[in-house]
Homo-oligomer: A and B are copies of this chain.
Amino acid sequence: MVHFVGVEAMIRLVEKTGVREFLSGLSQAIEDDFRRWPVFEKTPRIASHSSVGVIELMPTSDGNHYGFKYVNGHPKNMKEGLQTVTAFGVLSDVSTGYPVLVSEMTLLTALRTAATSAMAAKHLARPDSRCMAIIGNGAQSEFQALAFAAICGIDQIRLYDIDPTASLKCAANLAGHGLDITICTTAQDAVAGADIITTVTADKQYATILTDNMVGEGVHINAIGGDCPGKTELHKDILHRSQIFVEFTEQTRIEGEIQQLPENYPVTEMWQVITGTMPGRQSAKEITLFDSVGFAIEDFSALNFMRRQALSLGIFEELDLIADLADPRNLFGVLETKKDPIRRPQRPQAAA
């Protein structure tokens, strides 16, 4: 049988593990996979565009497992009370081609995005960073705050959103998590004194969330919201003052902040920093920028990490997705079940 982790199971899995512990383990799993970056099959996402949104498939493989994520992006959904982004994912065994896991990934993507951000900041931000500003306090903001708390030692959070109720929602959700939280009335106020600035706004257009004068020396910028063609958050002048780090250059040139820059503008891929083949931050005064758009390998890491958790905690269901036959040539026989017990007895699947 194929294992299934639905939304309720994912919620129980994260609660039982602990959000911070889940984010820490996931961040480490992503780092481990970035460390072996060259073994992965890297394909640009396969997108199907319509006038109201996009549906994408993001596959990758490390030669042992194959994984893909289905994800949509429909900015108008929010007005209809629906999620802008929903996602689910599949893991398969490369040696047999059989799927082994189907999972919700709306929640898991939020977790992996935050875990990836914090992993990058662990390598790029000043080690003494304590205070993070979060510009944009929507669905991703709490995950960012907790990931940076768990992985980078952040304990002060400064919130700003053009909609004050979003900041209130974020602050309320973060209450009781041991963070010193300040709601600010301007973006300028939020970034004052911050060691790390996270931009994670949702407007699908060229916007300038940060202008050059707002960014002081030594800051690490974690730019999450600029993640598709035509959507950026940072003024170009900031990019020129920063050392820029990306996931997969080919994809980020199209989707990231650097779509504002010439095609040959130098950037460093995060896996090169992690493996020590390229430098990360080189001085306490440097501005570092992680221009993050999300990449298939992070989803792959998330599915594998989550699967291990789910199997060890026994939090999953079974999905009747594969016609496993006693005689594989006799597929037609399954339609005449009165004749014979044609399907193979289902074997419990060994843990990874």
Residues of A within 8 A of B (CB): 4, 6-9, 11, 14-15, 19, 41, 43, 46, 48, 50, 52-55, 57, 59, 61, 63, 66, 68, 70, 72-74, 77-78, 80-84, 86, 88, 90, 92, 94-99, 102, 104, 106-107, 110, 138-143, 166, 169, 173, 319-325, 327-337, 343-344
Contact = CB atoms under 8 A, between A and B. Distances in A.
Contacts of A11: 334-335, 337
Q: Chain copies in the assembly?
A: 2
B83 A324 contact: yes
Given A74-B97, A81-B344, A83-B322, 17 more contacts: A6-B319, A7-B322, A7-B323, A43-B46, A53-B97, A55-B92, A72-B97, A78-B329, A82-B96, A83-B323, A84-B328, A138-B329, A139-B330, A139-B332, A140-B331, A166-B329, A173-B330
A141 to B, nearest CB: 8
17 contacts: A4-B319, A7-B321, A41-B48, A53-B96, A53-B97, A68-B70, A70-B92, A72-B96, A78-B329, A83-B324, A83-B328, A86-B322, A106-B323, A106-B331, A107-B323, A139-B328, A141-B332
A95 B52 contact: yes
Contacts of A319: 4, 6
Interface residue SS majority, chain A:
mixed
A9 to B, nearest CB: 7
Contacts of A328: 77-78, 81-84, 139
B94 A99 contact: no
Contacts of A337: 11, 15
Contact of A14 (B4, B63, B335): B335
A86 B323 contact: yes
A332 B63 contact: no
A150 to B, nearest CB: 14
